[in-house]
């Protein structure tokens, strides 16, 4: 691992302050993501995976706060950026696919408008015609048929799998350098899970750095290059997939692996 990571997290701490106690959702974690590689973050629910991804995008809300560390995108610390700079990074350099596709699309806006918005936000000069062409091309690229019909649909008129593909298309429209997929298949049927994962796997070849959040170790074994095991807000073990799966060192990793074999 001597290349330069596109995204590097150093000693990140995200805490949630509640009335009495402080919840250390993410406590001092460090990780790296490389272009053309899939980096998996694995852990049970509540282990801090999703908070990590939201921290990367600086979208922690409410009583949560990033209290320390660095998030380096191409060597630049995102924690020191202004909100305006962050807005120009979100959706352009770093895109995200969410866990629940039908919840992540706005129910009262047509897919077309939501897709066009993703382009226009980061490319104001682009003409409407070009925009639509780009959307149609991308919808086809994620394996959906009848792109024109999809564009004119509202999210509730599409199936979960179609919504998730539309979500993937939306995330890819600006050709991001980093793609975060937060449990992209958890809420989908088994058959569609494999298809969506396949679409994500293909992106690896396009020199994109993919951060895959999951609790499914079999998915990790099939797809990931590097893996980080999270437990209680800490990274308990990390390395290449082969290292971690063949010789798990930490007791938690061992129990995780036992649970699926």
Residues of the shown chain interacting with other proteins in the complex, contacts defined by CB under 8 A: 54, 57, 59, 61, 83-84, 87-92, 95-96, 98-100, 103-109, 117-118, 121-122, 154, 156-157, 167, 170
Comparing CB distances to other proteins, the nearer of 57 and 196 is 57
Q: Give the nearest distance from C-beta 174 to other proteins in angstroms.
A: 8
Comparing CB distances to other proteins, the nearer of 79 and 87 is 87
Q: Are 244 and 81 in contact (CB under 8 A)?
A: no
Q: Give the nearest distance from C-beta 146 to other proteins in angstroms.
A: 19
Q: Give the nearest distance from C-beta 257 to other proteins in angstroms.
A: 31
Cβ neighbours of residue 119 closer than 8 Å, sequence gap 6 or more: 126, 131, 134, 135, 173, 174
Comparing CB distances to other proteins, the nearer of 72 and 96 is 96
Comparing CB distances to other proteins, the nearer of 73 and 96 is 96
237-241 long-range Cβ contacts below 8 angstroms, 24+ apart: 238/31, 241/40
Comparing CB distances to other proteins, the nearer of 98 and 228 is 98
| Helix, strand or coil, per DSSP, at residue 25 | strand
For helices 160-172 and 128-141, give the axis angle rounded to 10 degrees.
Answer: 130
Q: Are 112 and 152 in contact (CB under 8 A)?
A: yes
Q: Give the nearest distance from C-beta 203 to other proteins in angstroms.
A: 17
Going by the DSSP 8-state scheme, the letter that residue 100 receives in this structure is: -
Tell me how far the alpha carbon of residue 106 is from its chain's centroid.
Answer: 19
Phi, psi dihedral angles at 32 (to 5 degrees): -130, 145
Q: Give the nearest distance from C-beta 106 to other proteins in angstroms.
A: 5
Comparing CB distances to other proteins, the nearer of 155 and 248 is 155
Q: Give the nearest distance from C-beta 246 to other proteins in angstroms.
A: 35
């Amino acid at each position: 691992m001597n290349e330069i990571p596109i995204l590097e997290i150093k000693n990140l701490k995200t805490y949630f302050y509640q009335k009495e106690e402080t919840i250390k959702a993410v406590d001092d974690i460090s990780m790296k993501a490389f272009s053309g590689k899939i980096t998996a973050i694995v852990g049970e629910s509540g282990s801090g995976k999703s908070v990590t991804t939201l921290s990367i995008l600086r979208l922690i809300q409410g009583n949560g706060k990033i209290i320390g560390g660095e998030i380096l995108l191409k060597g630049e610390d995102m924690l020191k950026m202004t909100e305006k700079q962050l807005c120009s990074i979100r959706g352009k350099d770093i895109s995200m696919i969410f866990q629940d596709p039908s919840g992540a699309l706005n129910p009262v806006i047509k897919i077309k408008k939501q897709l066009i918005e993703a382009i226009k936000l980061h490319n104001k000069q682009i003409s409407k015609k070009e925009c639509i062409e780009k959307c149609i091309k991308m919808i086809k690229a994620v394996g959906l048929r009848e792109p024109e019909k999809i564009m004119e649909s509202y999210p509730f008129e599409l199936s979960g799998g179609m919504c998730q593909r539309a979500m993937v298309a939306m995330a890819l429209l600006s050709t991001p350098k980093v793609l975060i997929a937060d449990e992209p298949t958890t809420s989908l049927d088994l058959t569609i899970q494999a298809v969506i994962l396949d679409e994500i796997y293909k992106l690896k070849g396009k020199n994109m750095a993919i951060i895959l959040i999951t609790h499914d170790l079999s998915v990790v074994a099939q797809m990931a290059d590097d893996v980080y095991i999270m437990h209680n807000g800490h990274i308990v073990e990390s390395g290449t997939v082969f290292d971690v799966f063949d010789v798990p060192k930490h007791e938690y990793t061992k129990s995780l692996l036992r649970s699926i074999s």
